[in-house]
Structure 1
Amino acid sequence: MVAENRIVVKVGSSLLVNEEHLTPSYAFIHGLLGDIAALRQEGKEVVLTSSGSVALGLGLLDLDPAEAGVQDKQAAAAVGQPYLLNVYKQVATEYGFDIAQVLITAEDLENRRRFLNTRNTITRLLERGILPIVNENDTVTTEEIRVGDNDRLAAKVGQMLMASKLLILTSIDGLYDRNPEEEGAQFVEKVHDVAEYLEVTKSTSSLGSGGMMTKMQAANMAQNAGCATLIAKGEIDSPIIAVLNGERRYTECVAEKDPASSWAVWLTDRLNMAGSITVRNNPARDIRSGEIGVRAQDVASIQGDFGKGDVLHIFDEDGLEVARGLTNFGSQEALILALNQDKTPKELLGYKASDVIINQKNLILLEERHLNWDQPVDDVLQVDEVSLD
């Protein structure tokens, strides 16, 4: 059930850090935490998802953001994160509350046990009156395994906490139907289907890792969990409350009235693709009708080096995504089962098991509300073409 008093606020680097000097924007941070203090007084539970550590760290290390590589950014995060938290700590103290740092990796959100542990931690902090400040742990992540943007990270936090609102503060006042610099661009007040706007939102800021496209992707994640997303310009004066009170315009991505369960939302809204399976078209129809899970005999191809318990994307032979589900086998074991359907799993794997790769109960069919992923074209093992000899 959605928690009506719970709000997740996401703030980007372009608001928190002076772009020219790569130093904290104290005026904005005062306005931000002042609003959070006021919301707390009203009984609201607020979680802040904050960028800024890498940008601040690049300034401390005297590195050009445009030329910084992965290792530069990891080092920048290591020095920038305590700097950013110290600024938050000082300002929060002036408003009479304390903060906590919660660093998250993509794996913390994609692994069910770690996801629940993270949720428990943040919930406990809220119960004790502490403001959780969430950021990706950029010091230890690489391009291949990172969340990649704090918009989707904030949406996952909103899902995790069953928040009623996700407020994304950015450098423009919301979504436009095309590049806002183009003549005739129209402001979009409400969005029901974010897929309509993905193609017109492909740009990023000079400091941030996400643009309006990642905000649309984040909004879709939040929608599925019954959480409305508000996208607005982060003004210095009353950056949060003016938006919530309707005093400043914003784009609202409307929440689903009938959200899926917490389990279904976690399983379907992925940050990265661990792997995928293409099933033959006839069994794909049976999967869509809810009659079966994914059996070894149905597999046409396997993509990715995944492990047992990973969430896989299931495609049909036409490249259309059918479902997502928890796999009972790693990629090598799944391939062995698919290649040797005349033998039992006991004979092939050395232990007793079913030949069902994904059980029906661990499979969620995709609906129109979900953004489909493209079928992978690299590192694909076609079952009919593979030999184990």
Structure 2
Amino acid sequence: MSSQKRIVVKIGSSLLAHSKQLTLRYAFMHGLMSDIAQLKSEGYDVVLMSSGAVALGLNTVGKTPEDAGLLDKQAAAACGQLLLLNAYRNVAHEFGFDIAQILVTIGDMEERRRFINTKNTIERLFDHSIMPIVNENDTVTTQELRVGDNDRLAAKVAQMIQADHLIILTSIDGLYDKPPSAPDAKFIEKLEDVSEYLSVTEGTSALGSGGMLTKLQAANMAQHAGCNTIIAEGIMERPLLSVLGNERRHTKCVAFGTPASAWKVWLTNRLQVAGSMTMNQKAADELVANGGPITHADIISVHGHFQKGDILHVYDENDVEIARGLTNFSSDEALLLARHPEAGTAELLGYSAALPDLIASKNLVVLEENHLPWDVPTDELQLVSSSQ
């Protein structure tokens, strides 16, 4: 963990924009920035993950959340970013600090070099006591290339800067064991295994793109990075200090102790599935017991179209996800190698690979039980042999 105290704060659109007028809620913003100023004075580095640009820009392009298409939302984001950042800058100056904006795409989080470049930018801003405000670059992302929710993106940033706390402020006071409207719903104050409550997490807000499911997914990602997650209601006065001081109720998802290396945390905590492989059961059992590598003789099917350097999800024949790792070959190359396990790489591909295994041991992590699994991919399945 970083020796510096660090917090990532995620704010949803419904807290920043009035649902009807689609205008800024300045009272909430003032309370938020006042708390951030106090945290900075206590020695904390703070990153703000802020939604709201699309919602605030819809009036400018003459659309509503209900009738806005993708191009409308991209245009609205371009308009709303100006309104949002100008408001943040003005309020931050009232409390004596500066802000900077970092717009990212999923590639900035999933591709290692760009991930490190983003981290270095944030670190330099910290050096100058400037608070980064991070958001997905909604002006350029398409449905296929976007993260889709700022909850998990905030968890990736928490992982990136080795934060102590991820605070997710939302329109509800925390997690319940069933829909909060149920008369016998029980509030959950503390949890370690978020998978116990995935079945009660459906639904999103009118303005937001994530519901309680994405918050629990984000919490699980943060747990593996050694970061506690707090899910709480975004009130106007002391929205951060009141939960950090345990003055009002909230749900706390507890970190899993000392995290793995930064490399392994990055490998295993993904925002998007690039592709996957299924191993024969004997090889899968050996992998779980003794680790990698994964060779092309171990594979019985390949899913999706991926490139060398992508992170793959690895399953056994019972559709249980057992590992994640960085592939040394594209999907077409992996399929060709797996169909001819007796042949050499140079013979099949026309070149000698520096790392002949599909996934090398150093680039592979066997998942622990407390990792949230991904659904088994069902599209673009390519079997290694027609007999399987």
Tell me if both proteins adopt one fold, taking TM over 0.5 as the criterion: yes
Q: What does residue 214 of structure 2 align with?
A: 214
Say whether residues 1:379 and 2:380 are aligned partners: yes
User: How far is 1:76 from its partner?
Assistant: 1.0
Unaligned regions of 5+ residues in structure 2, if any?
Answer: none
User: How far is 1:27 from its partner?
Assistant: 0.7
What letter corresponds to residue 202 of structure 1 in structure 2?
A: E
User: How far is 1:2 from its partner?
Assistant: 4.3
Q: Distance in 2 between matches of 1:228 and 1:198?
A: 18
**3-state SS in 2 of match to 1:289:** helix
What letter corresponds to residue 155 of structure 1 in structure 2?
A: A
User: What does 1:48-197 correspond to in 2, within 5 Å?
Assistant: 48-197=48-197
Aligned Cα root-mean-square deviation (Å): 1.2
**3-state SS in 2 of match to 1:58:** helix
Q: Distance in 2 between matches of 1:4 and 1:286?
A: 40
Q: Distance in 2 between matches of 1:124 and 1:180?
A: 42
What letter corresponds to residue 46 of structure 1 in structure 2?
A: V
Task: Judge conservation of contact 1:290–1:360 (CA < 8 Å) in 2.
Answer: no
Q: Which deviations, in whole Å up to 9, do the C-alpha atoms of 1:71-92 show, x marking residues without a partner?
A: 1111111111111101101111
Q: Which deviations, in whole Å up to 9, do the C-alpha atoms of 1:55-110 show, x marking residues without a partner?
A: 11112212110222211111111111111101101111111111100011111111
User: How far is 1:258 from its partner?
Assistant: 2.6
| TM-score normalised by L of structure 2 | 0.97
Superposition misfits of 4+ residues, deviation over 3 angstroms: none
Say whether residues 1:284 and 2:298 are aligned partners: no
Say whether residues 1:5 and 2:5 are aligned partners: yes
User: How far is 1:291 from its partner?
Assistant: 4.5
Q: Which deviations, in whole Å up to 9, do the C-alpha atoms of 1:349-385 show, x marking residues without a partner?
A: 1111254100111110000120011211110000112
Task: Judge conservation of contact 2:4–2:45 (CA < 8 Å) in 1.
Answer: no
Moved more, 286-295 or 166-175: 286-295
Q: Distance in 1 between matches of 2:189 and 2:212?
A: 14
Q: Which deviations, in whole Å up to 9, do the C-alpha atoms of 1:209-233 show, x marking residues without a partner?
A: 0011110000000011110001111
What letter corresponds to residue 255 of structure 1 in structure 2?
A: A
Task: Judge conservation of contact 1:4–1:164 (CA < 8 Å) in 2.
Answer: no
Is the alpha carbon distance of 1:10 and 1:292 closer, same or farther for their aligned partners in structure 2, counting shifts above 3 Å? Answer: closer
Task: Judge conservation of contact 2:57–2:76 (CA < 8 Å) in 1.
Answer: yes
Q: Distance in 1 between matches of 2:105 and 2:36?
A: 25
Q: Distance in 1 between matches of 2:3 and 2:212?
A: 26
Q: Distance in 1 between matches of 2:292 and 2:205?
A: 45
**3-state SS in 1 of match to 2:309:** coil
Q: What does residue 367 of structure 1 align with?
A: 368
What letter corresponds to residue 337 of structure 1 in structure 2?
A: L
Q: What does residue 19 of structure 1 align with?
A: 19
Q: Distance in 1 between matches of 2:319 and 2:3?
A: 38
Task: Judge conservation of contact 1:162–1:227 (CA < 8 Å) in 2.
Answer: yes
What letter corresponds to residue 333 of structure 2 in structure 1?
A: E
User: How far is 1:294 from its partner?
Assistant: 1.2
Q: What does residue 311 of structure 1 align with?
A: 311
Task: Judge conservation of contact 1:3–1:164 (CA < 8 Å) in 2.
Answer: no
User: How far is 1:345 from its partner?
Assistant: 1.1
**3-state SS in 1 of match to 2:290:** coil
Unaligned regions of 5+ residues in structure 1, if any?
Answer: none
Identity among equivalent positions (%) equals: 57
Q: Distance in 1 between matches of 2:361 and 2:6?
A: 33
Q: Distance in 2 between matches of 1:152 and 1:344?
A: 40
Is the alpha carbon distance of 1:225 and 1:76 closer, same or farther for their aligned partners in structure 2, counting shifts above 3 Å? Answer: same
What letter corresponds to residue 380 of structure 2 in structure 1?
A: D
Q: Which deviations, in whole Å up to 9, do the C-alpha atoms of 1:171-222 show, x marking residues without a partner?
A: 1111111110111111110011000011101110000000111100000000
User: How far is 1:290 from its partner?
Assistant: 2.3
Moved more, 287-296 or 35-44: 287-296
Moved more, 324-333 or 62-71: 62-71
Moved more, 199-208 or 242-251: 242-251
Q: Distance in 2 between matches of 1:383 and 1:234?
A: 51
Task: Judge conservation of contact 1:3–1:162 (CA < 8 Å) in 2.
Answer: no
**3-state SS in 1 of match to 2:145:** coil
Q: Which deviations, in whole Å up to 9, do the C-alpha atoms of 1:23-76 show, x marking residues without a partner?
A: 010111011111111111111111100000011111221211022221111111
**3-state SS in 2 of match to 1:46:** strand
What letter corresponds to residue 337 of structure 2 in structure 1?
A: L
What letter corresponds to residue 357 of structure 2 in structure 1?
A: V
What letter corresponds to residue 206 of structure 2 in structure 1?
A: S
